């Protein structure tokens, strides 16, 4: 594992007003990375709502211990069974609104995102330049099969939802909290990423994309959108259009 994955390097440059920023982390069997990620986010001043989506490893127990250290900054939610990425995000985002979040950032639990990029995706929101920000990963650094699958998903998202984005499947997104109740999210799985784009288009929301880093490890390369996942998302898109 990359030793710099959880470092607080360049701390002076990464200082941000974290007031009102809630980080929503969906987690399914992430015992290797989740504790270090959550505790680093808390050390940086963020509130974290972690949704354990029916994990069968030690994910829940690890975060439970972290919560004992930071009881006011970590909120631990649990699905008794694995319901999928979309369901976990919906649970975490809804909870964050109840806790008074001003901004909600979705952040993966596998260690692929750089902590400093949270500040970068929040900047357009705080400047009132956008209502939703998507962190766009560099596709040239992506493994070939993932790059192909993500390019296909970008094309399908444009064809179905008439919104052109650089990285429709990115897990790092930031929302102004007041627009989240407008979303009608139905997908329980990975299709939620494209569904966010649909809801942005349907509600005429101001969208920006900012470039972000991606940290590739064995864990991050084995997850996310692949060709098989893309085919399942396409099938569900077609069904939704025909309803």
Per-residue confidence of the chain (243 residues) as pLDDT tens digits? 343 344 434 444 445 689 999 999 999 999 999 999 999 999 999 999 999 999 999 999 999 999 999 999 999 999 999 999 999 999 999 999 999 999 999 999 999 999 999 999 999 999 999 999 999 998 877 777 778 887 888 888 888 888 889 999 999 999 999 999 999 999 898 889 989 999 999 999 999 999 999 887 665 455 555 555 545 555 555 555 445
Residue 12 lies inside a defined structural domain of this protein: no
Per-residue confidence (pLDDT) for residue 217, from 0 to 100:
65
Q: Residue 234 has what pLDDT?
A: 55
C-alpha to C-alpha distance for 60 and 27, rounded to whole angstroms: 9
Q: Please check whether residue 199 lies inside any domain of the structure.
A: yes
Task: Please give the Cα distance from 222 to 242 (Å, whole number).
Answer: 32
Q: Which CATH number is 226's domain given? A: 3.90.550.10
Instruction: Look up the domain containing 165 and give its range.
Output: 21-242
Residue 1 included in any domain: no
Is 11 within a domain?
no
Would residue 83 count as lying in a domain? yes
Strand order in the sheet with 103-106: 74-79, 47-53, 21-27, 103-106, 173-176, 132-136, 207-211
DSSP structure string for 20-69 = TEEEEEEESS-TTTHHHHHHHHHHTT-EEEEEEES-SSSHHHHHHHHHHH
Indicate the pTM of the whole model. Answer: 0.83
Say if 16 falls within a structural domain. no
Helix (H, G, I), strand (E, B) or coil at 241: helix
* Domain total in the chain: 1
* Residue 13 within a domain: no
Spatial CA neighbour of 207 closest among 231, 174, 242: 174
For the residues of 204-233, what is the DSSP string, one character each?
A: T--EEEEE------HHHHTSS--HHHHHHH
């Amino acid at each position: 594992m990359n030793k710099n994955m959880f470092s607080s390097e360049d701390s002076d440059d990464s200082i941000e007003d974290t007031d009102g920023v809630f980080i929503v982390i969906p987690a399914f069997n992430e015992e290797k990375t989740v504790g270090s990620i959550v505790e680093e986010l808390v050390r940086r001043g963020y509130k974290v709502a972690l949704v354990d989506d029916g994990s069968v490893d030690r994910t829940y127990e690890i975060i439970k211990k972290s919560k004992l250290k930071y009881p006011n900054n970590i909120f631990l939610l649990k699905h008794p069974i694995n319901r999928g990425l979309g369901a976990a995000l919906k649970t975490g985002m809804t909870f964050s609104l109840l806790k008074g979040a001003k901004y909600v950032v979705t952040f993966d639990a596998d260690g692929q995102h750089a902590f400093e990029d949270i500040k970068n995706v929040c900047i357009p929101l705080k400047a009132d330049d956008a209502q939703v920000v998507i962190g766009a990963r560099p596709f040239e650094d992506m493994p070939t099969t993932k790059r192909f699958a993500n390019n296909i998903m970008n094309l399908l998202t444009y064809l179905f939802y008439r919104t052109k984005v650089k990285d429709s499947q990115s897990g790092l997104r930031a929302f102004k909290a007041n627009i989240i109740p407008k979303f009608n999210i139905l997908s329980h799985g990975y299709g939620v990423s494209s569904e966010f784009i649909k809801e942005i288009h349907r509600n005429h929301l101001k969208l920006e994309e900012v470039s972000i880093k991606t940290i590739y490890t064995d864990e991050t390369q084995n997850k996310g959108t692949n060709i098989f996942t893309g085919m399942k998302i396409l099938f569900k898109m077609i069904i939704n259009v025909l309803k």
